[in-house]
Structure formats: structure tokens, C-alpha cells
């Protein structure tokens, strides 16, 4: 059965958004029960009702994806958009009425209401959203004096196996309590650039989206956001945005109405042992700069493609994702110091961090023509000269580059991660003008018994690939 990660999606009839996550708290003996904790924190949890314009057909068919194709017959007579309610969860974080929830709970809402713990239903103002982390902040005016307010805890203090408590409104059932343990930390589920989810086995279902995940001190250590499920129902794998990240985002949304993230303008890839050998280093360390955005902060500071970033402001860099998240947390216009390795020389470069904006994702290449050059069996590639249209799109000179037509399964090229439609620009530090240049570079690498380093364009992204003989 196909398994996929689903953002807390709308329930079929109510368009209820799914949230999922059970986690852990600090290492300690298991409490006899959780009644005192629940009694203390449940008044801070609210239900979110978001009104949206939805077509009747969408409501009937629900949020299904990948079903059988249906012929298009034009709009049905009753298919005019109508108001429908989507429901999620949230929690109060301040006495002046600020409430945290998920962005997808209130996305495209025409009206937002909050069902408070005392049973009152009040309108809410949208303060700000951050789609990159799926967080949003609302505000209500009608909080009673002395209303309960949730406190943030330290998600970094949790270890797998710690108790966690989820409270929310699954399927519209308010004040539902589920308990589980923290299954894992720093999960990257590829839902966005800043994934570092807490994973929990606490039962979370549609309508829990945006609700809090508590530790056994009654502190919020996560915001329930997504599940991993083949059916859309809870199977014991849920994810929550950790409080360490959530607090940074929420504070900015309250103060600025938006999140301002640092940006230096590089594409990164991890350093592997094979890449290190191909570049000529004894060990894999740092992260490799595979592309530098023209006129970006890194370009202005003199960073170059092929540089290896060892540290950011004195902190070691081990994985591209860690460096990207660290840069994102630096305020724009701040100076950061990168310690890099260029060739055999270690140096420091000062970079003025810029402001990240929405940038176009790399587009897939068009299919390569069928008249490919003969396959180099030992390397495992069938190559063709780069078509002129693609060469012009990439801004390359004439007679430059070769496109991969086919990758032989199990071959060295396949094991290195090369793909059909990749464009090879350099092989063995030499520019590629025709497919024969790659064959020559590969033969030399085999003779010297060393990996062959290639520079590749994949879509609009540049990266290095080391093919080991």
C-alpha cells in the first residue's frame, strides 16, 4: 500500500484539517496518570473554525488524490462556491489573546472564529502566517481576565522515550487528550526547507492541526502539524514543529507580522568520502558549495563554487540543512563569518546576510533527443550533445556540455546519483565540450584509480558528483 506524508488535510464532510503528533518529556519516571497536568493546561487549548469558499463537488469528492480519471463535463448546476467550515486546534500564548495554530488550518479563510475553553465562540484576527513552517498567529479580544495561558517548554531537552501529551479537537471532538512518547527528533519529512519535526506516537487525527504537544511539566514543546499515514488516519507516526523553532517564528509574527529569514545565496551539498577523495582531501568535512547565486551576499563576499564551508560564526557545519537553518535564524543585514577551505587553504570570509525571499524552484529539463551517443558501458551513461535550446536557457556558450540520455542501473554513474537529463559541464576539472570528453576523463580516472569529479546542472541547480571506479 502506498504510504505518503499528508499535511493535516480536510476531513471529507467538514474539511477538518489533520494534525498528528505524540511526543516525550524530560526523562523521568512515568506518572501515575496525567489528570493534574490535563486539568492545568486544557483551558489553554482552543478550537479554530475557518470559513472557506468551496465548491459542492469538492466537498462530495473530499481531499482524495490520485483517484481514477473522470471525464470533464463542465460545471454542474449546483457547483457554485459555497461557505464550508474547516476545523483545527490552537492554544493561547498571551493574556492579550494571541493564539498559535497551523497555517493550513486558516489558509484562504474568509472568516476565522475561535471556540474558547469556556464555550464562547469569538471572532479572531489573523496576525501573521509562515507557510514555510506551517505556523500562524491569531488574536482575539474577548479573553476573560485571568484566562489560562500556555507556557513554552524546551523541545531540545526532550529525548526519545519521553512522555508527551496532545490536546485538541479531532473530528470536532473538543478537549480530546491523547498520550504517547517522543519517537524521534529532528525529522525531515521534506514538507519544507526548515523541517526538524518532533515525531510522536500520541494519537493525532483530523482537527488536531495546530494544537499543542505538552511535556509532563505542562509546557508546550511542539505544535502538531502532520502525520505519516497510508489511509489519512492515525497510525502512530505524527509530527510536531518543535518549540525551539516555533517560538522564533511566533515572536516574529507577533512583532512584525511576517518572518524575516537570513539568506546568503548558495546551494549546498554534503561532503562524502568519495567527493572528498575526488577533490583531493583526506577526509570529508564541512559542506560543499555547489552553486553561488549571482550578485547574492555570498557572491559579493567572494565565496566560490567548490569552496567547502567548515564553520559559521565559529560553529562547525556538518550538513547542508543545519547550515541553511542556522543562516535563516540570522537577522538580515548582520555580518556572519564563514570559515572555508579553498583548495588546501583555510580562510575566513565575512558575509553580510541578506533577506530571503520566494525564489523559483528549478524547472525540469526537457527530454533529451533520441539520437544519443553510444553508451560508455564502464561508466554507465548514454550521452548526447547538449541541445541548443537548453544551452541557451542555461546561458552556456556554443559546443559546451553533454546531456545524459540514459543511466545504466547498477553502474558507477547510477551509484553516484547521476540522472537522465542531467547536464554535465565539467569532468575532472576540465570543461566538457562533447560526450567524448567525459569518456576520456573517466578513462584517466580509472587509470589513476581515483573518483571522477563532475559538475552537473540538474534543472536550474548546480551540484558536484563524484563517480568512483
| C-beta neighbour count of 299 within 10 angstroms | 17
φ, ψ for residue 307 (rounded to 5)?
-65, 150
Q: What pLDDT sits at residue 128?
A: 93
Low-confidence winner among 179-183, 249-253, 294-298 (lowest mean pLDDT): 294-298
C-alpha cell at 190: 521534506
Share of the chain above pLDDT 90, in %: 29
**Average pLDDT for 99-124:** 91
Nearest to 400 by CA among 389, 386, 390: 386
Low-confidence winner among 3-17, 119-133, 277-291, 313-327 (lowest mean pLDDT): 3-17
State the pLDDT confidence band at 266, using cuts at 50, 70 and 90.
confident
C-alpha cell at 113: 472564529
Q: Do 88 and 16 form a contact (C-beta atoms < 8 A)?
A: yes
What mean pLDDT, rounded, does the chain reach?
79
Q: Is the pLDDT of residue 26 over 90?
A: no
Q: What pLDDT sits at residue 190?
A: 67
pLDDT tens digit sequence for 10-23: 333 333 334 333 33
Q: What pLDDT sits at residue 38?
A: 93
Residue 438: its H or E element:
helix 435-448
**Average pLDDT for 144-155:** 87
Q: What pLDDT sits at residue 57?
A: 54
CA distances (Å), 109 to each of 104, 272, 342, 431, in order?
Answer: 10, 46, 50, 52
> Please, where in the chain does CATH 2.30.42.10 lie?
262-355, 381-467
CA distances (Å), 163 to each of 179, 226, 233, 346, in order?
Answer: 7, 19, 22, 45
Low-confidence winner among 93-102, 225-234, 448-457 (lowest mean pLDDT): 225-234
State the pLDDT confidence band at 265, using cuts at 50, 70 and 90.
confident
According to DSSP, the residues that pair with 453 across neighbouring strands are: 466
CA angle, residues 308, 300, 345, in degrees to nearest 5? 30
pLDDT tens digit sequence for 358-403: 433 333 333 333 333 344 447 888 887 776 667 677 777 766 788 8
Q: What pLDDT sits at residue 211?
A: 94
Q: What pLDDT sits at residue 455?
A: 87
Q: Is the pLDDT of residue 233 over 90?
A: no
Task: Give the integer Cα–Cα distance in Å for 348 and 358.
Answer: 29
- Residue 220 is classified by DSSP as E
* pTM for this model (two decimals): 0.64
CATH of domain 1-61+81-259: 2.40.10.120
Q: Is the pLDDT of residue 261 over 80?
A: yes
CA atoms within 13 A on the CB side of 224: 45
CA angle, residues 18, 24, 26, in degrees to nearest 5? 150
Q: What pLDDT sits at residue 412?
A: 87
State the pLDDT confidence band at 56, using cuts at 50, 70 and 90.
low
Q: What pLDDT sits at residue 351?
A: 92
Q: Do 103 and 131 form a contact (C-beta atoms < 8 A)?
A: yes
Q: What pLDDT sits at residue 166?
A: 95
According to DSSP, the residues that pair with 306 across neighbouring strands are: none
Q: What pLDDT sits at residue 94?
A: 93
pLDDT tens digit sequence for 304-335: 888 889 989 888 888 888 888 888 888 888 89
Q: What pLDDT sits at residue 401?
A: 81
C-alpha cell at 279: 577533490
> Please, where in the chain does CATH 2.40.10.120 lie?
1-61+81-259
**Residue where the block lists cell 526548515:** 194
**Residue where the block lists cell 522515550:** 161
| C-beta neighbour count of 283 within 10 angstroms | 8
State the pLDDT confidence band at 430, using cuts at 50, 70 and 90.
confident
pLDDT tens digit sequence for 162-201: 999 999 998 888 889 999 999 998 887 766 667 789 999 9
Task: Give the integer Cα–Cα distance in Å for 273 and 278.
Answer: 9
171 vs 144: which has the higher pLDDT: 171
**Average pLDDT for 231-242:** 83
Q: What pLDDT sits at residue 74?
A: 38
Nearest to 193 by CA among 357, 338, 83: 357
Task: Give the integer Cα–Cα distance in Å for 81 and 14.
Answer: 15
C-alpha cell at 425: 559541464
Domain at 381-467, CATH class = mainly beta
- What is the C-alpha radius of gyration for the chain, rounded to an integer number of angstroms? 26
Annotated catalytic sites, by residue? 104, 134, 209
Low-confidence winner among 209-218, 227-236, 369-378 (lowest mean pLDDT): 369-378
**Exposed, middle or buried by CB within 10 Å (0-12, 13-18, 19+), for 209?**
buried
Q: What pLDDT sits at residue 283?
A: 78
Superfamily of 262-355 according to CATH: PDZ domain (2.30.42.10)
Residues 6 or more apart whose CB falls under 8 angstroms from that of 320 comprise 268, 269, 270, 287
Q: What pLDDT sits at residue 231?
A: 67
Amino acid at each position: 500500500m502506498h504510504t505518503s506524508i499528508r499535511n493535516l488535510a480536510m476531513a471529507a464532510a467538514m474539511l477538518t484539517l489533520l494534525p498528528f503528533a505524540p511526543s516525550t518529556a524530560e526523562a523521568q519516571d512515568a506518572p501515575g496518570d496525567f489528570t493534574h497536568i490535563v486539568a492545568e493546561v486544557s483551558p489553554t487549548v482552543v478550537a479554530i473554525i475557518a470559513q472557506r469558499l468551496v465548491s459542492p463537488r469538492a466537498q462530495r469528492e473530499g481531499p482524495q488524490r490520485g483517484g481514477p480519471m473522470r471525464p470533464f463535463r463542465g460545471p454542474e448546476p449546483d457547483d457554485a462556491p459555497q461557505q464550508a467550515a474547516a476545523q483545527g486546534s490552537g492554544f493561547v500564548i498571551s493574556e492579550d489573546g494571541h493564539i498559535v495554530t497551523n497555517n493550513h488550518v486558516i489558509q484562504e479563510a474568509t472568516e476565522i472564529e475561535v471556540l474558547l475553553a469556556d464555550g464562547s465562540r469569538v471572532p479572531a484576527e489573523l496576525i501573521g502566517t509562515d507557510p514555510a513552517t506551517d505556523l500562524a498567529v491569531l488574536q482575539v479580544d474577548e479573553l476573560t481576565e485571568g484566562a489560562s495561558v500556555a507556557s513554552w517548554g524546551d523541545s531540545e531537552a526532550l529525548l526519545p522515550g519521553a512522555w508527551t501529551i496532545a490536546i485538541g479537537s479531532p473530528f470536532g471532538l473538543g478537549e480530546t487528550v491523547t498520550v504517547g512518547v517522543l519517537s524521534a527528533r529532528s525529522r525531515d519529512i521534506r514538507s519544507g526547507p526548515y523541517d526538524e519535526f518532533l515525531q510522536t506516537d500520541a494519537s493525532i487525527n483530523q482537527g488536531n492541526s495546530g494544537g499543542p504537544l505538552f511535556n509532563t511539566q505542562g509546557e508546550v514543546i511542539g505544535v502538531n502539524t502532520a502525520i505519516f499515514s497510508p489511509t489519512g488516519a492515525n497510525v502512530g507516526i505524527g509530527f510536531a514543529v518543535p518549540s525551539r523553532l516555533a517560538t522564533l517564528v511566533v515572536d516574529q509574527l507577533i512583532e512584525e507580522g511576517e518572518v524575516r529569514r537570513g539568506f546568503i545565496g548558495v546551494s549546498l551539498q554534503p561532503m562524502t568520502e568519495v567527493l572528498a577523495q575526488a577533490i583531493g582531501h583526506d577526509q570529508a568535512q564541512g559542506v560543499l558549495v555547489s552553486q553561488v547565486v549571482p550578485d547574492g551576499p555570498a557572491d559579493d563576499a567572494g565565496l566560490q563554487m567548490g569552496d567547502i564551508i567548515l564553520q559559521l560564526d565559529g560553529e562547525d557545519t556538518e550538513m547542508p540543512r543545519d547550515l541553511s537553518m542556522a543562516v535563516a535564524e540570522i537577522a538580515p543585514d548582520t555580518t556572519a563569518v564563514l570559515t572555508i577551505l579553498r583548495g588546501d587553504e583555510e580562510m575566513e570570509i565575512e558575509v553580510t546576510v541578506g533577506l530571503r525571499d520566494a525564489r523559483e524552484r528549478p524547472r525540469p529539463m526537457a527530454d533529451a533527443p533520441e539520437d544519443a551517443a553510444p553508451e560508455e558501458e564502464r561508466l554507465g551513461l548514454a550521452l548526447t550533445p547538449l541541445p541548443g535550446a537548453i544551452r541557451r536557457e542555461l546561458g552556456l556558450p556554443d559546443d559546451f556540455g553533454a546531456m545524459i540520455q540514459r543511466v545504466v542501473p547498477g553502474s558507477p554513474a547510477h551509484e553516484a546519483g547521476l540522472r537522465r537529463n542531467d547536464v554535465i559541464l565539467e569532468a575532472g576539472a576540465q570543461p566538457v565540450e562533447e560526450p567524448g570528453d567525459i569518456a576520456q576523463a573517466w578513462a584517466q580516472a580509472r587509470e589513476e584509480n581515483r573518483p571522477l569529479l563532475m559538475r552537473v546542472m540538474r534543472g536550474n541547480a548546480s551540484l558536484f558528483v563524484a563517480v568512483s571506479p
